[in-house]
């Protein structure tokens, strides 16, 4: 008795969970040399991104997962450029991000939710309206500058609290950009996404200037 052969499913993912699994797998499959090349290109691109040069206070984040770009060089560049650097801390009780000023790049971080390095609660807190420019993490991004996060919704709740003129930007690997992601009403689009191979500007948003 012959067994029918099932063709592989080549359809694009249609759920956020499927997108997350597929993109994370693609990042982890990158050749180490190619990954370092892309990360180096992103570090070089930081100072050229719209709004960065004139930003006094920047919101960055500390990479914690193996599929994330290494943000340590970005933090070092921000401090060297004289920026006020703000890092997020997860407030578990209120299910939101609190922002803290990092005045010394050598300050030790503590282990937060899922082991993510974050400022201690005792560090000086910064109001969201202090932020001029924000680097936003994400698993995937699309050609409308929509993002797919990890599902907790922390940044979807934080981003609307930033000033209207504060730019929201992302840096990512080339394989993290896809044609279109599933979007829900609470998902907040970005002003732009930069990968080594291309830059995408958000739709129906203010026109960023250098």
pTM for the predicted model, two decimal places: 0.87
Question: For all residues of the chain together, what is the average pLDDT?
Answer: 88
Instruction: Identify the H or E element spanning 171.
Output: strand 167-171
| pLDDT at position 84 over 60 | yes
pLDDT tens, residue by residue, 1-48:
444 443 344 445 668 889 899 999 999 999 999 999 999 999 999 999
For residues 127-154, average pLDDT: 92
For 168-209, write each residue's pLDDT tens digit. 999 999 999 999 998 887 778 899 999 999 999 986 544 444
| Residue-by-residue DSSP string for the chain | -PPPPPPP--SPP-SHHHHHHHHHHHHHTS-HHHHHHHHHHHHHHHTTSTTTTT-SEEE-----STTS---HHHHHHHHHTTPEEEEEEEETTTTEEEEEEE--TTPPPEE-GGG-EE--TTSPEE-GGG-SEEE---SEEETT--EE--SS-HHHHHGGGS-TTSEEEEE--GGGEES-----TTPPPPSEEEETTEEEEPTTS-----
Specify the range with the lowest mean pLDDT, choosing from 36-40, 79-83, 99-103, 148-152: 148-152
Collapsed DSSP state (helix, strand, coil) of residue 174: helix
More reliable by pLDDT, 111 or 46: 46
pLDDT of residue 81: 95
Neighbours of 68 (CB within 10 A): 17
Instruction: Write out pLDDT tens, residues 43-76.
Output: 999 999 999 999 999 999 999 899 999 999 999 9
Q: What is the DSSP letter of 205?
A: S
Q: Which pLDDT score, from 0 to 100, does residue 159 have?
A: 95
Q: CA-CA distance, 207 to 139, in Å (whole number)?
A: 25
In this prediction, residues 107-122 reach a mean pLDDT of 84
- Give the side-chain half-sphere CA count within 13 A for 102: 28
Q: What is the pLDDT of residue 6?
A: 39
Helix axes 72-80, 32-46, angle to 10 degrees: 20
Give the per-residue pLDDT at 5. Answer: 44
- Region 100-109: mean pLDDT is 82
Q: Looking at the predicted structure, is the pLDDT value of residue 134 above 90?
A: yes
Of 195, 201, 133, nearest to 167 by C-alpha is 133
> What pLDDT, on the 0 to 100 scale, is given for residue 13?
61
Q: Which residue has tokens 């994400």?
A: 138
pLDDT for position 45:
97
Domains parsed from the chain with CATH numbers: 16-201 (3.40.50.10420)
State CA 55 to chain mean position distance: 18
* Closest C-alpha among 32, 75, 81 to residue 56: 81
């Amino acid at each position: 008795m012959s067994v029918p052969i099932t063709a592989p499913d080549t359809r694009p993912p249609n759920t956020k969970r499927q997108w997350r699994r597929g993109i994370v797998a693609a990042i982890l499959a990158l050749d180490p040399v190619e990954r370092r090349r892309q990360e180096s290109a992103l570090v070089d691109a930081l100072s050229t991104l719209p709004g960065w040069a004139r930003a006094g206070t920047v919101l960055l984040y500390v990479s914690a997962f193996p599929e994330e770009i290494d943000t340590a060089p970005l933090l070092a560049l921000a401090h060297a450029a004289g920026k006020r650097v703000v890092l997020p801390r997860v407030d578990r009780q209120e299910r939101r991000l609190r922002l803290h000023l990092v005045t010394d790049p050598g300050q030790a971080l503590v282990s937060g939710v899922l082991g993510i390095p974050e400022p201690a609660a005792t560090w000086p807190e910064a109001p969201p309206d202090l932020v001029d420019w924000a680097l936003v993490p994400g698993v995937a991004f699309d050609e409308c500058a929509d993002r797919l996060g990890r599902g907790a919704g922390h940044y979807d709740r934080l981003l609307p609290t930033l000033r209207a003129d504060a730019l929201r930007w992302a840096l990512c690997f080339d394989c993290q950009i896809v044609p279109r992601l599933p979007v829900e009403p609470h998902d907040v689009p970005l002003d732009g996404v930069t990968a080594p191979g291309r830059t995408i500007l958000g739709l129906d948003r203010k026109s960023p200037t250098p």
